[in-house]
Amino acid sequence: MQNDLLYIGIFMLIALFIPGIAIVIAGVLGPKRPAPIKNAAYECGIETVGETWVQFKAQYYIYALIFLVFDVETIFLYPWAIAYNAVGIWAVLEAVLFIFILAGGLGYAWRKGALEWQ
Amino acid sequence: MNSFLTDPIGFLILWFYSVLRGWNLPEDLVVLIAFVVGAFTLATLSLLLVVFLIWVERKIGGRVQDRLGPNRVGPFGLIQPVADMLKIFTKEFITPDGADKVAYNLGPILAVGAVIMIWAVVPFGITLYGSNLNVGILYIIAVGGIGTLGIIMAGWGSNNKFALLGAFRAVAQLLSYEVPMVVSLLIPVMFAGSMGLNEIVRAQTVPFIVLAPIAALIFFISSIAENGRAPFDLLEAESEIVAGFNVEYSGLKFGFFFVGDFLHAFTIALLFSVLFLGGWNGPGADSMPILGFVYLMIKTSLMYFLGLLIRFTLPRFRIDQMLALNWKLLVPLSLVTVSLTAIVDKLAMNNIWVRVIVLLLVNLIIWLSLQEIMERVYRSRPPRRTVNYPRLKPEADEPVVQPETPAA
Amino acid sequence: MPMQIFFLIIAAVTLISAAMVVTVRRMMHAALWLVLSLFGVAVLFAMLESSFYAVVQVIVYIGAIAILVIFAVMLTRHMMDDTGRQIAKNWWAALVAVVIAFGGMVVLVLSWSRFQVGPGTAPSELLLLDFGKALTAPNQFAIPFEVSSVLLLAALIGSIFIAVERKGGQK
Amino acid sequence: MIPLSWYVIVAVAMFCIGLFGALTRKNAVAILMSVELMLNAVNINLIAFWRYLYADPAADPTRALAFVAIVFVAAAAEVAVGLALIISAYRQRNTVVAEELDLMKG
């Protein structure tokens, strides 16, 4: 297992290294002629008004929130899924209960209108 | 020599190990060198594959839409992507003023690196895999999260409203569709009793798509959405938010987002074949590993072609439709499917054919009740509000005004 | 020996980026340093041969929590800007207290002989299977299993209740 | 081999850095980030002890894993509710400086 993890680590480094080195090479090959207008932010030819980092709506945050909760359930459900063939029907029902408690949260968000895109 | 014919790649790997050992290096160093060389080869091959994939995609896309596709450079336009690559390598990088340099430059690297990283755990054949990680499926999900991070860094780093808005949209979509994907991937893990992709392939004496067609469908849809392709290409909706999170990029940095996109399209086909179509399983694959590789490639090409057909025929969703499809249909459906499959499969006898029939029945029931529910929801909806646009046709009692004909 | 050097590098990266999280002025950069620090922790988990938690660390912390934090940074960006002090006035008092606490704990760790052990037997491949069984076994973790789903439900409902903009409420 | 004490010292250092941040940072989001660091330090500790002392099958290795899972759940719940509170407070008071969030003072 240690070897598998070592390979994964090496692979991740290389997967980031190859694009990185390609960008460096392209930067060396390409011309470099910066100009103030060229470097300005692109907003369809109109000059930027106000701060760039304006506020955005909380809607996005709510999707991320529901996602977080469903992501955390993986910690519990994946080990259960591995043990699926080795456990009895009661363990399966427990996991189904687990899923349905979480689905209750989704139902609440639905009823509350939090899933509606406004 | 026989071993070379049935399993050329495995033979080469063993030969490489024996060469390294011949140099009297310590064993740890041999393993390390072999790993670095292997990882480097695989990653490079995956990137080189993109050059070919771009040609395939443009050619098929052209044919689907009744065009010719690339046909000028080389036979059938085969050299076109090479020419494009040379061009993009020599283009200028324009870094916008006020960009956050680190985030701006890391964005494309993470976006393409995250796709390549998936390849580390894919089993291409019985003997041919990078790593038999025991948590392979979770690794794939985790790597998807790194890609999301790359997009948010790109959007934030470019110091542009459109880019940031695009990144927000993109991240909302990627996060949302990860939920049904994670839930539906529980089913292969459940059946195989392991998260290692090798074990999952080995467990598929009957491909899992037969046992769990709905889960396979959910996985397919959500991975298309993760890829951000039509009909889910809201992340780069040119007509709505100029180009999305990548407006401010140029040259190869811009190109890398698309390299990642093309490679991801192939990778999801590969993953789908591994997880649901039986991977390298097939007649004679046990004795001749190279046959397994061929089977896997055939399955992958089929799924890839299907993905291309979808991409080139369907129009784009609106953002509210995209989110509603996920949260109001796919997520509940995946939860119900997983629960029912788990219960029924536990109750079914261990005979494989009984399981197939029972699970197919369950999936059919889920599908039919889904149709019924959607029908009812559709009927119970209030009729669409009609907007009174200015009429083009005049009312009956209005005098008809003839448009003036310009003087000749 | 290479293992130890590798460990020191990873530990240094993790701790330095953690220090950047608490000191850097721009919030967005603090969030990105947080990601690096969390990734370092994931590598530490991998070195401890807990591949499951290494991957879960990336999924939950980097894939979800860090993204949530970045969203919150962007949503509340207006006031928390990078000008002005980010650190409380009496930071030196906190620093002294923290350094004393750290020194005390290190002395404790180094003085107790049980901390000097090497790793025990490597965890077996079947560990996750056992963990899955234990999660649903009534005499083991069946109750924490269900309670944690209730906790998550409560967190979800609570945070949606708080975060959803009320119609007609004050802006 | 790496002794257990190294991991514990890293965890202690990380906990102290998080504590420092939680005590001194003014921004509420930054305080939450510091708390995340502290929770991570706890997890490093738990997994290190699991690996060094309880990994062999005789010692019931799943116990430590369950602990870590609960810490993950607690961290997720804390972030979800904490950030929702911060966003809500920001909407009402237009500030995220922790000292100025004195709604309870009346």
D76: nearest CB among A58, A61, A69:
A69
Confidence of residue B220 (pLDDT cuts 50, 70, 90): very high
Give C129's contacts in chain B (Cβ within 8 Å): 193
User: So what's the pLDDT on residue B1?
Assistant: 46
The residue whose two tokens read 């009744």 is B66
Least CA distance to A26: which residue of chain B? B89
Residue pLDDT, tens place only, D7-33 = 889 999 999 999 998 888 888 888 899
Q: List phi, psi (to 5°) of B329.
A: -120, -60
Higher pLDDT, C122 or B325: B325
Q: Mark whether C38 and C80 lie in a shared domain.
A: yes
Question: B99-103, B340-344, D58-62: which range is least confident on average?
Answer: D58-62
Q: Which domains does chain A have, with CATH numbers?
A: 2-111 (1.20.58.1610)
Q: Compute the distance between CA of residue A83 and CA of residue A77 in angstroms, rounded to an integer.
A: 10
Residue pLDDT, tens place only, A16-33 = 999 899 888 888 887 777
* Alpha helices by DSSP H, chain D: 4-24, 28-53, 62-93
Question: Total structural domains in chain C?
Answer: 3
Give exposure, D54-80, as e/b (b: 16+ Cβ within 10 Å): bbeeeeebbebbbbbbbbbbbbbbbbb
Residue pLDDT, tens place only, B136-164 = 899 999 998 898 899 888 888 887 777 78
What single-letter DSSP state applies at residue A30?
S
Q: What is the pTM of this model?
A: 0.89
Tokens encoding B151: 């997009």
Least CA distance to A21: which residue of chain B? B109
Residues B157, B104 contacting (CB under 8 angstroms): yes
User: So what's the pLDDT on residue B164?
Assistant: 80
Residue pLDDT, tens place only, A29-61 = 877 777 776 667 665 555 555 555 455 667 788
Closest CA of chain D from A43, distance in Å: 28
User: B129: helix, coil or strand?
Assistant: strand
Enumerate the domain spans of chain B. 7-88, 91-322
Question: A32-36, B324-328, C54-58: which range is least confident on average?
Answer: A32-36
Contact call for C67 and B153, based on CB within 8 A:
no
* Alpha helices by DSSP H, B65-211: 80-89, 101-118, 136-157, 161-192, 197-202, 208-211
Residues D38, D25 contacting (CB under 8 angstroms): no
Global ipTM: 0.89
User: C7: helix, coil or strand?
Assistant: helix
Question: Residue B269, Cβ neighbours under 10 Å: how many?
Answer: 23
* Alpha helices by DSSP H, C59-141: 66-75, 91-111, 127-136
Q: Mark whether C7 and C30 lie in a shared domain.
A: yes
Q: List phi, psi (to 5°) of C113.
A: -70, -25
Domain D4-105, CATH = 1.10.287.3510
- With 90 as the cut, is the pLDDT of residue B272 above it? yes
Instruction: Determine D/B contact with 3+ CB pairs under 8 A as the test.
Output: no
Q: Mark whether C1 and C80 lie in a shared domain.
A: yes
Give me the domain span that covers residue C168: 124-171
Q: List phi, psi (to 5°) of B128.
A: -110, 90
Confidence of residue B347 (pLDDT cuts 50, 70, 90): confident
Interface check D16 vs A, CB under 8 A: no
Question: Residue A6, Cβ neighbours under 10 Å: how many?
Answer: 17
Q: Compute the distance between CA of residue B264 and CA of residue B242 in angstroms, rounded to an integer.
A: 23
Question: Residue C160, Cβ neighbours under 10 Å: how many?
Answer: 21
Residue pLDDT, tens place only, D62-82 = 888 888 888 999 999 999 888
User: So what's the pLDDT on residue B35?
Assistant: 87
Q: Angle at CA B78, nearest 5°, toward B72 and B79? A: 80
Q: Compute the distance between CA of residue B125 and CA of residue B7 in angstroms, rounded to an integer.
A: 9
User: C87: helix, coil or strand?
Assistant: strand
The residue whose two tokens read 């530490």 is C44
User: Largest Cα–Cα distance in chain C?
Assistant: 65
Residues D19, D38 contacting (CB under 8 angstroms): yes
Give A82's contacts in chain D (Cβ within 8 Å): none
Higher pLDDT, B14 or A103: A103
Q: Mark whether C17 and C75 lie in a shared domain.
A: yes
Confidence of residue B239 (pLDDT cuts 50, 70, 90): low
Q: Mark whether C33 and C54 lie in a shared domain.
A: yes
